[in-house]
Structure 1
Amino acid sequence: MKGLLSRILNRGAPPVEPEVAPASADLQPERPFVAIGDVHGRVDLLLEIDRLIEARCPGWPVVFLGDYVDRGEQSRDVLDLLMSVSPQDTPPVVCLMGNHERMLLDFLDDPAKNGPRWLRNGGLQALASFGVAPPRGGSTDPAALDEVRERLAAAMGAAMIAWLRARPLSWHSGNVWAVHAAADPELPMTDQSDNVLLWGHPEFLRKPRADGQWVVHGHTVVEAPQASAGRIAVDTGAYATGRLTAAAISADGVSFIQTGEG
């Protein structure tokens, strides 16, 4: 990311030595890249991992796997930073949509219908990051949810909402695909449904793909990052554990870069 996020705070940090997964003859990205797991409102970890990536993989393209908002306390700060980078940067930075961005947008589109689920799943923390109080009538009061929706939309602004709506659901380099949640192992990657890419698939973690395609993903929290059977999992529950994980992916293998605990 050119150290772009790091330079905002003008801070430095020593690199950590990544763990390395064995190389696979099937792992063939067009060029090396870095995939970053679920940030969930932890701008401190986002800035830290940016420094570590700059030290280990300078100039590599970066793809964020979604879930920038909710749960953690700094959703707004995370979005502000990510909106400052783009696929047109050198190196390019791509930000995918996660299911939590989808829930936030669904709330904005229909607060009475979609508000209760979003608020139960970290939306309260996202509201607080924008300085918006929770619904005074409770999470099932349509009038209160409408009021919160108006205040949140005003606090976010049209540009941020449009940026969220424009997030792609997948990205790939060679035979390595980046998605938020999962892919149906029975379907070509180009035929995946939005729902599967955002929310998962029951066979994704159980059945390897037969087409030689690899999938790097977040969404499902793992104790340690993993690369096997055509899947690369990097969601290590950063908002709760303090461990935000990135996968540095090349034809030589997969190395994991991770922030410290706390």
Structure 2
Amino acid sequence: MLHRLFGKRSRAGSPAAERRPRAPSDCRVYAIGDIHGRLDLLQALHEQIAADCRARPHEGSDTIVYLGDYVDRGPSSREVIDCLLDAPLPGFAAIHLMGNHEEAMLRFLDDVEAGPAWVSFGGEATLLSYGVRRTPNTLGRQRFEDMRRQFAAKIPERHVGFLRGLRLSYESGDYFFAHAGVRPGVAISAQQPQDLLWIRNAFLSSDVDHGKVVVHGHTPTDAPEIRHNRIGIDTCAFASGVLTCLVLEGDDRRFLATGSADWSQHVAAQ
């Protein structure tokens, strides 16, 4: 599926800027939204990206930016991390950003007290993917201590290293990539990790120029959300079956996606 966006009006009602934001002239950027344990969709989208590169050869380099939330909710969190570690798109520069779900996962590895919060918003699916089961006849803290002990024994060291090495943000041309967004009114260079990973309403409702167009996931929508200051590409893949990729090349923007969603009406409204 492929949609092209040219000179559209933003959902906030502001006309598109006279000078459109640009990716670097020597680089094509592919940004992938929240995967949440859907290895099947990730593999299908990788195939689309590879096909896109073959169909559109160019002189520059290719970069793929993963916006975080690789784990939880879907059935294959462990396998998703294996896939990302195995560099599935040879020749691409791969940028892996941290999501709030990876942060919560690491907190549980470091502190059993973080277990209830993580499990309550999707972490149990990740534990199951690593072969961790709730211990029968245990309650409260003891249950989470047992689960954490199993988890620490079963998660590969290379997975822990991958998670601890995730970046919080990435910049390319006129675009800034972060999992959740940015704090309006704060310089891009001064953003705090809590906001980059967790912010929601203050960012989503803001019409402020952030200095760069922010490409983010974190907040699911039925279709990509394109505004003059941000582009949201979390299309709730774990439930919808639609995993989204934003393609940036020069001042061009287009989308690849899994599934059969038709975004033509949403795009026409931008």
The C-alpha deviation readout for 1:179-238, integer Å capped at 9, x for no partner, is: 000101201111100000000143211223335410000000011012222211100000
Hey, what's the Cα distance between the residues in 1 that align with 2:143 and 2:200? 34
1:86, 1:93 within 8 Å by CA — same for their partners in 2?
A: no
1:72, 1:125 within 8 Å by CA — same for their partners in 2?
A: yes
Partner of 2:267: none
Partner of 2:3: 19
Alignment of 1:150-189 (within 5 A): 150-189=149-188
Is the counterpart of residue 248 in structure 1 residue 247 in structure 2? yes
1:124, 1:134 within 8 Å by CA — same for their partners in 2?
A: no
Evaluate the alpha carbon distance shift between residue 199 and residue 185 of structure 1 in structure 2; reply closer, same or farther with a 3 A threshold. same
RMSD, matched Cα: 2.0
Deviation of 1:135 (Å): 4.5
Query: What's the TM-score, normalizing by structure 2?
Result: 0.84
Percent identity, please. 36
Partner of 2:66: 64
Partner of 2:217: 218
Partner of 2:57: none
Hey, what's the Cα distance between the residues in 2 that align with 1:137 and 1:123? 20
Alignment: residue pair count: 243
2:135, 2:147 within 8 Å by CA — same for their partners in 1?
A: yes
Is the counterpart of residue 28 in structure 1 residue 38 in structure 2? no
Counterpart pick for 1:81 among 80, 83, 86: 83
Hey, what's the Cα distance between the residues in 1 that align with 2:210 and 2:123? 38
Query: What's the TM-score, normalizing by structure 1?
Result: 0.87
Alignment of 1:57-206 (within 5 A): 57=53, 60-85=62-87, 90-111=91-112, 113-136=113-136, 141-206=140-205
Hey, what's the Cα distance between the residues in 2 that align with 1:40 and 1:136? 27
The C-alpha deviation readout for 1:226-254, integer Å capped at 9, x for no partner, is: 22222111000000000000000123321
Ranges in structure 1 where 5+ consecutive residues have no aligned partner: 1-15
Hey, what's the Cα distance between the residues in 2 that align with 1:151 and 1:73? 18
Hey, what's the Cα distance between the residues in 1 that align with 2:175 and 2:208? 12
Ranges in structure 2 where 5+ consecutive residues have no aligned partner: 8-16, 55-60, 262-270
Evaluate the alpha carbon distance shift between residue 211 and residue 218 of structure 1 in structure 2; reply closer, same or farther with a 3 A threshold. closer
Hey, what's the Cα distance between the residues in 1 that align with 2:209 and 2:35? 31
Hey, what's the Cα distance between the residues in 2 that align with 1:128 and 1:39? 17
The C-alpha deviation readout for 1:26-49, integer Å capped at 9, x for no partner, is: 412223201000000000000000
The C-alpha deviation readout for 1:99-153, integer Å capped at 9, x for no partner, is: 0000100111111x21111111111111111111024456x62222112111111
2:209, 2:229 within 8 Å by CA — same for their partners in 1?
A: no
Evaluate the alpha carbon distance shift between residue 27 and residue 124 of structure 1 in structure 2; reply closer, same or farther with a 3 A threshold. same
Is the counterpart of residue 45 in structure 1 residue 41 in structure 2? yes
Hey, what's the Cα distance between the residues in 1 that align with 2:104 and 2:38? 18
* Structure 1 residue ranges, 4+ long, deviating more than 4 angstroms after superposition: none
